[in-house]
Amino acid sequence: MAVKNYILVCGGTACESAKGDDIYKALLKEAEAHGVAEDVQIVKTGCFGFCEKGPIVKVLPEQAFYVEVVPEDAKEIIAETIVKGRIVERLQYQPEKGAKGDAFDIENIEFYQKQYRIVLRNCGLINPESIDEYVARDGYAALEKCLFEMTPEDIIEELKISGLRGRGGAGFPTWLKWNFSRQVESQQKYVVCNADEGDPGAYMDRSTLEGDPHSVLEAMIIAGICVGADYGAIYIRAEYPLAIERLETAMKQAREYGLLGNDILGSGFNFDIEVRLGAGAFVCGEETALLASIEGKRGMPIPKPPFPAVKGLFGQPTVINNVETFANVPVIITKGGKWFSQIGTEKSKGTKVFALTGKIKNSGLVEVPMGTTLREIVFDIGGGIRGGKKFKAVQTGGPSGGVITEEFLDTPIDFDNLISIGSMMGSGGMIVMDEDDCIIDVTKFYLEFCVEESCGKCAPCRIGTKKLYEYLDRFTKGQGKMEDLKKMRDIGNAMKKASLCGLGQTAANPVLSTLKYFPEEYRQHIEDGKCIAKKCKDLVRYEIVAEKCIGCTVCARKCPVNCIEGERKKPHIIDQDRCIKCGACYDGCKFDAITVS
Amino acid sequence: MAKMTLEELRKLRSSQKSEMERRDVEGKEIHIIVGMGTCGIAAGAKMALDSFLDTIKSNNLTDVVVKQTGCMGLCYSEPTVEVKVPGMPDIIYGNVDAAVAKEIVEKHIMHKKMVENHIQDKPAGDIIK
């Protein structure tokens, strides 16, 4: 009996944590109960990217796109959509503007327009735990080509034509890295996948591994063929259990099919992969520290050169690439480097996946061609700022990046442009801020992260991050001085020049870029003792306007420290010495009688 | 499954591909829409639907979408099925049992010839050239 419907349930971490698995099980149960279990295939896929509205359930070929589904909805989905072929309007995604007419089409969802999915080509489409579905989507076709039709030189050439640059953040040309390793004479070579994603707000590597693990495996085998390695390792954080599980499943299937292991497809080529778990230290995302960690040593960086491509894991030539870089490789081989090079900007080819989070309406995973402007990402795909607030800035590149202000919103995003405006691509975290965010508070958050994550090996990073943090902390308490700003710039610039690895060299970026673009906000904190976003507790003052206060006593009852006094029906007063600035009175007052300044 | 050779991998890919393609609606031009209202189901629309799917599969047709809809209002001739093929008028067939469904796929879709005795509704003669 042939299957007539497909139900795709999002199995990404975000949806999974919102009971995705229960929805999946409930659908199976209901399909059984309605006697349609044989007619419908229910598949758990990787992330659809539209995490804001998750959990998402798609029904094909009806093109139903159900959002914010709960397990209790399973009954209705089966009874209506599968048995009767009717769309459950209640669950169907409603386009915000509603101007698209009545013909609903998934392609018309604003979130997906302007996106171009290469890395995420299979995410949300295939069952990540089925190698057959990956094969059906041209999976392992690139491997075939590399084993039987192409020489290692051809592979390098194809990558060179494609213009692919490393997606870990620095943007080093991938072909060049592979070529370095290929040219070194050595008995033993390695291929390593860097899946140690630690930037605050970034989760594209995890989603790629969860949604399409085989694409990374395939690319690693190809790298092995190209440089002459027979062993690969995937370094991934232990805190990504779902990605690890799916990788293990994928590796097992690939071994059973003879796509991994000895004598791959009868070609005589051997290659195997192992998963190595990291403990979640940010510095271990730096390649030399990562390799040290795999070797069983403490994860600390070592000076380069020699680069890992020449002398890496256990002193042997090692190709080390980020998850997203690898995921691009099979497509480049099957569709050709020329095809890939037509996407993107002159010096940055292809697409980039961003994890769009913060004060944005549609947060989620977004893959756009290089050269898309920030305005398109934030306002067209992301739907703009939540709650009608005003846009303030976007933080890109995590602790290694900087903020981008309104004036740069129309800059086409690529590796070089971002650096020229004082930020960087980084791994692709993108945190949107609105007027309620205090720029100093945000910067302090990043520095606090870097203080914790610095490995401490070199002084500029160890002492520099701590010092910068202390200055920022003083500003938030109203104890800063204007001359501190110059000192911070000096420290930041020294860190840039003198730190051992990328972490220290970029840790000051949030400080340097906010100093540059928000000098007025720093000045207000220091000279006026004011935080316009009202985030810095010590600079905020809650007061009751006597004329507006009717003495309803709500504020006094809400106050957790009982610092509001006054008689019923008469104006109340806040005791400023005892006030802890929690804002409970402000939120509770129905008469706008409390001011914040 | 045991280790594969290149040939086996290619075979697996082509067989799996047609399976995946059936999920994909985009770019598919031919639509078969089966009325699955209560009346349709009672009259055996499910059997017709299964027959459509089986026939499409056995003939390796990849550009056909089979959809369901509610009652089309022609309850007297259930199961009713609407067939849309580019370059041909949209036809509604009535009294479609499993055998007729097979015929519709083989004649109407594969050979662009309408299945005469089951047409319930079609555009006026002057529209069909």
Distance CA A571, CA A448 (A): 42
Q: Which amino acid is at A188?
A: Q
Question: Can you give the pLDDT at residue A320?
Answer: 96
What was the pLDDT predicted at A107? 57
Interacting residues of B117 by C-beta distance below 8 A, sequence separation 6+: none
Q: Which pLDDT score, from 0 to 100, does residue A109 have? A: 66
Mean pLDDT, range B59-75, rounded to an integer: 77
Distance CA A247, CA A231 (A): 16
- Give the B window 59-78 contacts with A, CB below 8 Å: 65-70
Q: What is the reported pLDDT for B23?
A: 66
Q: How far is A55 from chain B (nearest CA, A)?
A: 20
Q: Is A86 on the interface with B (CB under 8 A)?
A: yes
Is the CB of B40 inside 8 Å of chain A's CB atoms? no
Lowest mean pLDDT: which of A145-154, A224-233, A516-525, B83-92?
B83-92
CB contact under 8 A, B9 and A3: no
Most confident of the following: A256-260, A361-365, A424-428:
A256-260
Set of chain A residues whose Cβ sits within 8 Å of the Cβ of B67: 61-62, 85
Inform me whether the pLDDT recorded for A1 exceeds 70. Answer: no
Higher pLDDT residue, A113 or A239? A239
The residues in A 50-79 lying below 8 A from B, measured between CB atoms, are 60-63
Q: Is the confidence metric ipTM above 0.85 for this complex?
A: no
How would residue A32 be classed by pLDDT, with cut points 50, 70 and 90?
Answer: confident
pLDDT of residue A590: 87
* H or E stretch at A468: helix A459-476
Higher pLDDT, A47 or A129: A129
A528 φ, ψ (degrees, to nearest 5): -90, -10
Instruction: Note whether A61 contacts B66, CB cutoff 8 Å.
Output: yes
Q: Is A570 exposed, middle or buried (0-12, 13-18, 19+ CB in 10 A)?
A: exposed
Distance between CA A197 and CA A284 in Å, rounded?
9
A257 touches chain B (CB under 8 A): yes
Share of chain A above pLDDT 90, in %: 52
Nearest CA in chain B to A139: B13
**pLDDT above 70 as % of chain A:** 97
The string of DSSP letters for A179-202 reads HHHHHS--S--EEEEEE---STT-
Q: In terms of pLDDT, which residue wins out, A495 or A533?
A: A495
Higher-confidence position of A112 and B128: A112
- Dump pLDDT digits (tens) for A368-386: 999 999 999 999 888 889 8
Please check the confidence at residue B90 and state whether its pLDDT lies above 90: no
Per-residue pLDDT averaged across A556-585, rounded? 88
Interface membership of A2 toward B (CB under 8 Å): yes
**Hey, of B5, B15, B16, which one would you mutate to test binding to chain A, going by the most A CBs within 10 A of its CB?**
B16
Distance from the Cα of A3 to chain B's closest Cα (Å) equals: 8
Evaluate whether A570 touches A577 at the Cβ level (below 8 Å): no
pLDDT class of A152 with cuts at 50, 70, 90: very high
Residues shown for chain B: 129
Q: State whether B66 and A266 contact (CB < 8 Å).
A: no
Helix (H) or strand (E) holding B38: helix B38-42
Q: Which one is predicted more confidently, A240 or B120?
A: A240
Give strand pairing partners of A193: A234, A321
State how far the Cα of A381 lies from the Cα of A375, in Å rounded to an integer.
Answer: 9
pLDDT at A358 over 60: yes
Task: Say what the pLDDT of residue A101 is.
Answer: 43
Binning pLDDT at 50, 70 and 90, where does residue B26 land? low
Q: SS3 sequence, chain B?
A: CCCCCHHHHHHHHHHHHHHHHCCCCCCCCEEEEEECCHHHHHCCHHHHHHHHHHHHHHCCCCCEEEEEECCCCCHHHCCCEEEECCCCCCEEECCCCHHHHHHHHHHHHHHCCCCHHHEEECCCCCCCC
Whether A20 shows a pLDDT value over 90: the answer reads: no
DSSP state of A249: H
Chain B contact present for A388, CB below 8 A: no
Q: Say what the pLDDT of residue B129 is.
A: 41
Which of B3, B17, B22 is nearest residue A257 as measured by Cβ atoms? B3
Indicate the DSSP class of residue A409: T
Q: How far is A496 from chain B (nearest CA, A)?
A: 50
Q: Does A87 touch chain B (CB under 8 A)?
A: no
> Residues 544 to 583 of A: which have CB under 8 A from any B CB?
none
| Reported pTM | 0.79
Mean pLDDT of B79-105: 85
Scan residues 127-156 of A and list those with Cβ closer than 8 Å to B.
Answer: 132-133, 135-141, 144, 147-148
Name the pLDDT band for B88 (thresholds 50, 70, 90).
Answer: confident
- Under an 8 A CB cutoff, do A126 and B20 touch? yes
Q: Could you tell me if A99 lies within 8 Å of chain B, comparing CB atoms?
A: no
Q: Tell me, what's the pLDDT at B107? A: 85
Q: What is the pLDDT of residues A106-125, one digit of tens each?
A: 556 667 777 888 898 888 77
By the CB < 8 Å criterion, does B128 face chain A? no
Secondary structure in 3-state letters for A153-176:
HHHHHHHHHHCCECCCCCCCEHHH
